[in-house]
């Protein structure tokens, strides 16, 4: 079994981390695959073998790819290929993200391609993804940023599906997009693909778990408890987590005990410590409940905000409002993105790896930092009517947290796609 374990580690997403393996380790991998024979080939039933083969062939043919860190690169204006879909044509677009619909007229934010320094991102192919997802569940778990990425993913694939064969269904914290395309030539080949979003902004249990009414002034997190959420997605085929923004405060109230009973103890805990507790709960759950030969795991890193113009050299009261250009300073990092939180997630992922479970970080933070012009700003649905003071001062209500679609999250999904299909 030792060999199988080794293969498990090599073959599962995550191992290609920054795809830095050398040609020699590829040879070693090929040899190991031959040695592991039976165990490895049993993965064929999951439909992965041919993809693994393709990946190996790609890597051998193009050694530069094996040196490639997809997250290090630059934005290139490309109005030929982008946007990848039209805002109006996406049936399930969210009014929180439909910037054009809400009056934005400068649209170049839709037309940027991410160009890694040492290789190209594979082109997003909705059909190829739907085939990979046949009879499977891809579930995004997290906060509204992850929900935005989920909406983007739905928009990216749904154009490949005729209207009657797609549906959206909400049940509590879980929203499910289903593609049921039945191919006339071969009904057995119907897609039956499910792309879902599960609301859990702090991953673990909290008093903000209601998918609609969750804006509570007093945030309480039950840092040791995740099963209430996890039971809905543990058996998914691909899981994409995130959790960051809801932790952005100096202290969190942590509950020992349950929300239902009054015998609990609540303590104020320094934020980083409470984040560490929650991430530990999350990773422990994965270690003991995830079927390693079935489920691909991803964690999307922090999505930066652009709320303080002084951070990129503008005036104090400027934020993303009225921004139409990117930040060009290479390596720019706003001080709202807390590297210590990223390190906590990294440490948990490293530890899981030693236990034979791979989680691939989708490292969007640096590349997204540059995109101060990609936020909805004032061009989104306002849930509450604006006051006169707000109207007089648009920066006061500009949304500098979420992202317009089509836009930046489409690129996050292209990165995810690359790992799901090409580098597995
Ligand atoms: C994320 O990517 C950036 C750019 O390549 C890099 O500087 C940073 O170290 C990466 N962080 C992690 C946690 O991988
Ligand atoms: C793309 O951008 C270039 C330069 O801004 C412009 O000349 C051209 O008309 C644009 N093409 C399309 C299809 O929008
Ligand atoms: C997209 O993927 C499908 C299925 O793998 C393939 O048949 C098709 O040729 C691909 N399209 C492009 C443009 O690569
Ligand atoms: C359809 O997909 C679901 C997973 O989303 C799976 O449980 C079910 O068995 C599939 N149906 C068929 C007919 O294969
Ligand atoms: C909603 O989810 C619950 C719990 O999984 C399930 O029992 C119920 O049947 C679902 N309802 C609908 C309408 O899908
Ligand atoms: C894990 O997943 C594989 C592939 O889907 C399946 O064959 C196997 O029965 C699963 N194992 C368990 C313990 O559920
Ligand atoms: C918005 O930007 C334009 C062009 O840079 C500038 O002329 C205008 O004064 C700005 N408006 C506000 C309210 O900052
Ligand atoms: C962010 O930067 C501003 C000024 O540039 C500073 O006042 C503030 O303390 C910084 N915040 C953090 C969390 O470092």
For 311-367, what is the HEC assignment? HHCCCCCCCCCCCCCCCCCCCCCCCCCCHHHHHHHHHHHHHHHHCCCCEEEECCHHH
Q: Does the pLDDT value for residue 47 go beyond 80?
A: no
d(CA 36, CA 323): 55
Which residue among the candidates 143, 402, 410, 422 is catalytic per the annotation?
402
In this predicted structure, what is the pLDDT of residue 64?
A: 43
pLDDT on residue 396: 96
For residue 295, the Cα-to-chain-centroid distance in whole angstroms is 15
Q: Is 335 in the pocket of ligand 8 (CB under 6 A)?
A: yes
Under the banding of pLDDT at 50, 70 and 90, the label for residue 185 is low
Considering the candidates 15, 66, 94, 144, report the single residue annotated as catalytic.
Answer: 144
Residues 339-353, mean pLDDT to the nearest whole number: 98
Pocket probe for ligand 6: among 293, 297, 356, the residue whose CB has the most ligand atoms within 8 Å is: 293
Asked whether 210 lines ligand 8 (CB < 6 A), one says no
Shortest-distance Cα residue to atom 12 of ligand 8: 335
Residue in 207, 84, 220, 212 with CA at minimum distance from that of residue 154: 84
Q: What is the pLDDT of residue 147?
A: 98
Residue 306: CB within 6 Å of ligand 4?
no
With a 6 A CB cut-off, is 192 part of the ligand 4 pocket? yes
CB distance 194 to ligand 4 below 6 Å: yes
What percentage of the chain reaches a pLDDT higher than 70?
Answer: 82
The arithmetic mean of pLDDT across residues 95-114, rounded, is 97
Beta bridge partners of 362: 300
Inform me whether the pLDDT recorded for 38 exceeds 80: no
Region 150-155: what's the mean pLDDT? Answer: 98
Pocket test residue of 335, 336, 339, 369 for ligand 8, highest count of atoms within 8 A of CB: 335
Residue 354 has pLDDT above 80, yes or no: yes
Mean per-residue pLDDT, 171-196: 85
Q: Provide the pLDDT for residue 243.
A: 97
Query: What count of residues does the chain have?
Result: 424
Per-residue pLDDT, 87? 97
Residue 271 CA, distance from chain mean position: 22
pTM comes to: 0.86
Token pair of 141, please?
Answer: 């778990």
Tokens in use for 386? 């604006």
> For residues 46 and 142, which has the higher predicted lDDT (pLDDT)?
142
Whether residue 34 is preceded by a cis peptide bond, meaning omega within 30 degrees of 0, is: no
pLDDT tens digits, one per residue of 400-415: 999 999 999 999 999 9
Q: What percent of the chain has pLDDT over 90?
A: 74
- Which ligand places an atom closest to the C-alpha of 302? 1
The two tokens of residue 322 are 């009225």
pLDDT confidence tier of residue 336, bands split at 50, 70 and 90? confident
Average pLDDT for the chain: 85
Q: What is the pLDDT of residue 183?
A: 66
In angstroms, rounded to a whole number, what is the distance separating the alpha carbons of residues 329 and 5?
43
Is the beta carbon of 237 within 6 A of some atom in ligand 4?
no
Q: What is the pLDDT of residue 6?
A: 29
| The pLDDT of residue 224 | 95
Known catalytic membership, residue 399: yes
Q: What are the C-alpha distances in Å from 216 to residues 13, 48, 210, 224, 350?
A: 37, 44, 10, 20, 34
> Annotated catalytic, 384?
no
Which of 194-198, 212-216, 269-273, 373-377 comes out lowest in average pLDDT?
212-216
| Cα(151)–Cα(175) distance, integer angstroms | 11
Q: Which numbered ligand comes closest to the C-alpha of 290?
A: 6
Cβ of 131 less than 6 Å from ligand 3: yes
Residue 37 has pLDDT above 70, yes or no: no
Closest by alpha carbon to 122, among 222, 51, 209?
51
pLDDT band of 187, cuts 50, 70, 90: low
How large is the average pLDDT for residues 130-144? 96
Q: Is the pLDDT of residue 108 over 70?
A: yes
Residue 196 or 187, more confident: 196
Three-state secondary structure call for residue 270: strand
Taking 60 as the threshold, does the pLDDT of residue 25 lie above it? no
Closest listed residue to residue 366, CA positions, set 21, 72, 48, 62: 72
Beta strands in 209-318 (DSSP E): 220-222, 238-241, 251-256, 265-270, 296-300
């Amino acid at each position: 079994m030792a060999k199988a374990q080794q293969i498990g580690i090599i073959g599962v997403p995550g191992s290609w981390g920054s795809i830095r393996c050398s040609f020699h380790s590829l040879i070693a991998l090929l040899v190991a695959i031959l040695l592991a024979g039976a165990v490895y080939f049993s993965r064929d039933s999951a439909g992965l073998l041919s993809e693994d083969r393709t990946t190996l062939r790609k890597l051998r043919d193009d050694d530069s790819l094996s040196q490639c860190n997809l997250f290090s690169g630059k934005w290139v204006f490309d109005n030929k290929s982008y946007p990848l879909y039209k805002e109006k044509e996406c049936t399930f677009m969210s009014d929180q993200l439909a910037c054009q619909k809400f009056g934005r007229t400068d649209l170049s934010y839709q037309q940027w391609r991410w160009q890694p320094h040492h290789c190209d991102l594979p082109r997003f192919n909705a059909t190829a993804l739907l085939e990979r997802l046949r009879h499977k569940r891809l579930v995004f778990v997290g906060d509204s940023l992850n929900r935005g990425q989920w909406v983007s993913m739905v928009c990216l694939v749904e154009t490949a599906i005729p209207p009657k064969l797609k549906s959206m269904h909400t049940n509590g914290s879980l929203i499910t997009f289903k593609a049921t395309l039945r191919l006339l030539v071969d009904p057995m080949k119907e897609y039956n693909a499910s792309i879902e979003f599960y609301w859990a902004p702090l991953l673990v249990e909290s008093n903000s778990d209601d998918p609609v009414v969750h804006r509570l002034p007093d945030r309480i997190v039950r840092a040791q408890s995740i099963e209430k959420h996890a039971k809905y997605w543990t058996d998914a085929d691909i899981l994409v987590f995130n959790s960051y923004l809801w932790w952005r405060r100096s202290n969190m109230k942590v509950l020992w005990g349950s929300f239902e009973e009054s015998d609990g103890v609540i303590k104020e805990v320094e934020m980083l410590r409470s984040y560490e507790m929650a991430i530990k709960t999350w990773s422990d759950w994965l270690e003991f409940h995830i079927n390693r030969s079935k489920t691909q795991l991803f964690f999307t890193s922090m999505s930066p905000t652009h709320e303080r113009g002084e951070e990129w050299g503008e005036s104090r009261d400027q934020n993303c409002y009225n921004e139409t250009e990117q930040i060009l300073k290479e390596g720019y990092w706003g001080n709202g993105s807390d590297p210590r939180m990223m390190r906590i997630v990294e440490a948990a992922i490293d530890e899981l790896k030693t236990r034979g479970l791979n989680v691939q970080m989708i490292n969007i933070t640096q590349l997204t930092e540059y995109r101060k012009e990609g936020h909805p700003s004032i061009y989104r649905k306002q849930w509450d009517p604006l006051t006169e003071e707000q109207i007089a001062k648009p920066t006061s209500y500009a949304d500098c947290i979420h992202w317009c679609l089509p836009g930046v999250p489409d690129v996050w999904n292209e990165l995810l796609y690359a790992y799901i299909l090409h580098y597995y």
